[in-house]
Amino acid sequence: MKLNLDTLPAGRSDQEVDAIYALDPDDEVAGELVAQGTLTVDNTDAMVLVGGTLQAEGPAECDRCLIGFKLAYEADVEVQIVRTNRPAPAEEPDTWIFHQARGVIDLTDPLRESVILALPHKRVCDEDCQGICAHCGANRNQDVCDCEQEPTDPRWDALPS
């Protein structure tokens, strides 16, 4: 997504996003994430604020049963464009900050990073997924195994699973 700062209308406007981002640009096998949505662009004399939430989806492997599935999630985006030509500060804020007074600015990298960083840490195909049997390796969502389940220590029962 590119914004032309010279032709951007003053005030608030919406910018549609429909993009495909590679999980790893150097590895074609890694997969792609599709991001779609509408971002709000607030254009003032001193800065441009771009923000909103994108709907993202891509291939994933269940952490419990190792079955591939399509993961859908939301990614928050926040970018600031300060209309000045002075260099950006050395610190690494959570928000992408660009210092540019005029011209076209490419927001592909900040959008890609926002989508990738929003990937859930725990990826499960279904909240009720039973996973794989630790003894025989059977997918307990598809097969019933006859493995003897080890009794748990009752002191652990108070903890949520």
Where does residue 131 fall: left (phi above 0), alpha (psi -120 to 50 degrees), or beta otherwise? left
The residue count of the chain comes to 161
What tens digit of pLDDT does each residue of 48-69 get? 999 999 999 999 999 999 999 9
What tens digit of pLDDT does each residue of 21-55 get? 887 767 666 688 999 999 999 998 888 999 999 99
Distance of CA 82 to the CA centre of its chain: 25
Q: Which amino acid, one-letter code, is at 26?
A: D
pLDDT of residue 91 exceeding 90, the answer is no
Could you tell me which of 60, 75, 78, 80 has the C-alpha nearest to residue 115? 75
Report the pLDDT averaged over residues 134-139: 87
pLDDT of residue 92 exceeding 60, the answer is no
Average the pLDDT over each of 69-73, 96-100, 114-118, 124-128 and give the range with the smallest value.
96-100
Prediction pTM value? 0.76
The pair of structure tokens assigned to 134 is: 């630790």
- Alpha-carbon distance of 136 to 34, in angstroms, equals 36
